[in-house]
Structure 1
Amino acid sequence: MLLVVLPYLLGCAAFLTVFLARHDRLPDPMATHFSGAGRADGYTALGSFPYVALALLLVPAVLFAALAYGMRGGRTRALVAFGYALAGLLGYLLCALVLGNARAGADGTGARMGMGELGVALAVAAAAGGLGWLLAGRDATPAREPAPVVAPRLELRDGEAVTWTRSITSRPLRRIGLALVLPGAAVGLLAGWGAGAGPVVGGLLVCAFSAARITVDRHGLTATLPWLPRPRLRIPLDRIASATSRPIDPLPDLGGWGYRVVPGRSGLVLRSGEAVVARLITGSEFVVTVDDAATAAALLDALAARAGGRA
């Protein structure tokens, strides 16, 4: 995690050094947005600019640290490289923005940032990403896909109604949500809620969708929010050929957390670990990570068998 956060801390130090060294020459407001021709067409108050700039560096630092924590021992090399590249890009652009405003004069209308600066920023990002790739070292060798967990088959009598339900919470998503809300609230208090509202609203939405209630019953496999009936994700019994359970790793198996779709597989993955794996009649898989997945899968398989009339 320290390796992931390091370039953002260096970016903050570089920005603060340049900002404090040129503070007396900076216009108020500062030019912070530029047209395709490189001319300034958007401005930010000098008093709030450093808080916004530091938030731009610290928010992704916390996000990448949370992701690295959730992926420890797994495939983190690409994550570290991307994090370094983003830190290099943001750090260079923020420093270049300060220097460009310092050369612009008292009103800031003469500030320029053309495509050349963007090209240099991309080159810095590429170099930083390469450094992160080297520092991260090789990922652990992926293990072979684990065999399905064999659970005792559940025998259901005709007309017997059975329901299994359980809630699950994603710690990585909750950390990401808090990592957006807390800096966003700080920026809102210091620089105005116009600058902090976006991260706060986004963080609250991430926190709201970081938990789910999984239910297996006569309707099939259903996932909803713990406190709301909608939105709802349901796989009916007539679409399920069989069901079992096995461990799922979100990043290599489905490309990340949340509702995911990859060739031959889709599902709702809020954490790594055991999951209900429903084999659909189309040949693809639908997976849901949840505790006690073996029991849920055994019930789902029995319900699907009874609904389809198979032995």
Structure 2
Amino acid sequence: MTVDGTAPSRPALRRFMLVAVWLPVALVALGVAVQLLLLLPQAPATIAVHWNASGEADRFAPAWTQPIATVVFGLGVPVLIALTSLPGLRRGDHGPTYRLMGATAAAVSAMVSVALTWTLAMQAGLDSAADAPAVWPALVTSLVAASVAGVAAWFVQPRGESTGAVTPPAIPLALSAHEQALWMRTTSIARGAAIAIFAGVLVIALSAAVAGVTGAEPLLVWFLVGVAVLLLAIAATTLAFHVRVDDSGMHVESVLGIPRYHVPLGDIESAARVDVNPMGEFGGWGLRLSTGGRFGVVLRAGEAIEVLRRSGTRFVVTVDDAATGAALLEALVSRAAARP
């Protein structure tokens, strides 16, 4: 049982496993079995694996790579989704993000299995892969299969919505009329997440280097370089933030200076210490939007300051000693309201 009184939902966990793990395994196994037993013996040694915008085959590979690609892509994404989601689900976390992740895993496996099996089937019996027909029927069918699998997986899983409980404001610190107070902390993303982010940047950068060395189209190379640079910039500006509470409000600023956020004291309705589940509430880590008008600097799971603004929107930042920061904000807001 979790500390907030929410028991881990065993049906939710079982159904997530069903749609995000066992369904992809079954779809990929079926696709690979058809490819190995029925299609590969009839396919040419080299098959088309890429088609241009007009639907004509323009890249080729050994036929035996098709079952391998089906396993790698058809199970790779679902495995990553499961590894990311299962720890939270086992703790009893909930939220529509987990439901979406399960549906995405099912959709990806269905799309890959159908697309790669179909494109191999349409080349069975050909003398040359250059004679491969247009790929459009395979693409349309795979997208339909992905839609059906994703929608079905969404509805198979329980809704798992939060109870909608509102956290009461923090108890204000005791401040005299002219007493000055300042609270500061630095918050940073978990080490494992930071390593994963930079590993992703490195993979993209290496892909760009390989594409350049192997003579890929310049547009693709520059696209990969641009993606790597963009991801590096996003990572560098969101790995750590300084959080400050003073008589002007709450300031949250990246250690590099950008981005920065300021919630003025006069714009604060209340402040509370809350517990944040990044996946369940915000769909991940970083600068995140959520339902209910919430925006967060969400770098890890755990305690956070949540500020309710007078507009009704909420600003959340995960930080240690959030109770003290929220209590000081409440005291400053109360004192400002009491002044003539």
TM-score, scaled to structure 2 = 0.67
Question: Which residue of 1 is the match for residue 80 of structure 2?
Answer: 63
Quote how far apart the aligned CAs of 1:45 are: 4.8
Question: Is residue 2:182 matched to residue 1:165?
Answer: no
Q: Decide whether the 8 Å contact of 1:27 with 1:102 is kept in 2.
A: no
Superposed CA offset, 1:59-107 (max 9, x none) = 4224311442254032434432332122101221122223334555435
3-state SS, counterpart of residue 148 of structure 1 = coil
Superposed CA offset, 1:182-209 (max 9, x none) = 87699789998879958x9387677656
Question: Which residue of 1 is the match for residue 138 of structure 2?
Answer: 117
User: Aligned partners of 2:171, 2:231: CA distance in 1, in Å?
Assistant: 38
Against the structure 1 CA distance between its residues 232 and 299, is the aligned structure 2 distance closer, same or farther, given a 3 Å change threshold?
same
For residue 40 of structure 1, the aligned residue among 56, 63, 68 is: 56
For residue 132 of structure 1, the aligned residue among 153, 171, 192 is: 153
Structure 2, unmatched stretches of 5+, are 1-15
3-state SS, counterpart of residue 276 of structure 1 = strand
Superposed CA offset, 1:204-249 (max 9, x none) = 6776566332412335323334x42222233233432432223344
Superposed CA offset, 1:143-174 (max 9, x none) = 34143263451426637351321314258955
Question: Which residue of 1 is the match for residue 22 of structure 2?
Answer: 6
Structure 2 letter corresponding to 1:27: T
Quote how far apart the aligned CAs of 1:295 are: 0.8
Q: Decide whether the 8 Å contact of 1:34 with 1:112 is kept in 2.
A: no
3-state SS, counterpart of residue 25 of structure 1 = coil
User: Aligned partners of 1:65, 1:173: CA distance in 2, in Å?
Assistant: 16
Question: Is residue 2:270 matched to residue 1:242?
Answer: yes
For residue 222 of structure 1, the aligned residue among 251, 269, 276 is: 251
Question: Which residue of 2 is the match for residue 99 of structure 1?
Answer: 121
For residue 296 of structure 1, the aligned residue among 325, 329, 339 is: 325
User: Aligned partners of 1:143, 1:7: CA distance in 2, in Å?
Assistant: 30
Q: Decide whether the 8 Å contact of 2:50 with 2:58 is kept in 1.
A: yes
TM-score, scaled to structure 1 = 0.72
User: Aligned partners of 1:304, 1:123: CA distance in 2, in Å?
Assistant: 54
Quote how far apart the aligned CAs of 1:260 are: 0.9
Q: Decide whether the 8 Å contact of 1:19 with 1:98 is kept in 2.
A: no
Q: Percent identity?
A: 25
3-state SS, counterpart of residue 268 of structure 1 = strand
Structure 1, unmatched stretches of 5+, are none
Question: Is residue 2:110 matched to residue 1:88?
Answer: yes
Aligned residues: 305
What RMSD in Å do the two structures reach over aligned CA positions?
4.5
Question: Which residue of 2 is the match for residue 22 of structure 1?
Answer: 40
3-state SS, counterpart of residue 85 of structure 1 = helix
3-state SS, counterpart of residue 279 of structure 1 = strand
Structure 1 letter corresponding to 2:80: L
For residue 147 of structure 1, the aligned residue among 153, 160, 167 is: 167
Q: Decide whether the 8 Å contact of 2:170 with 2:272 is kept in 1.
A: yes
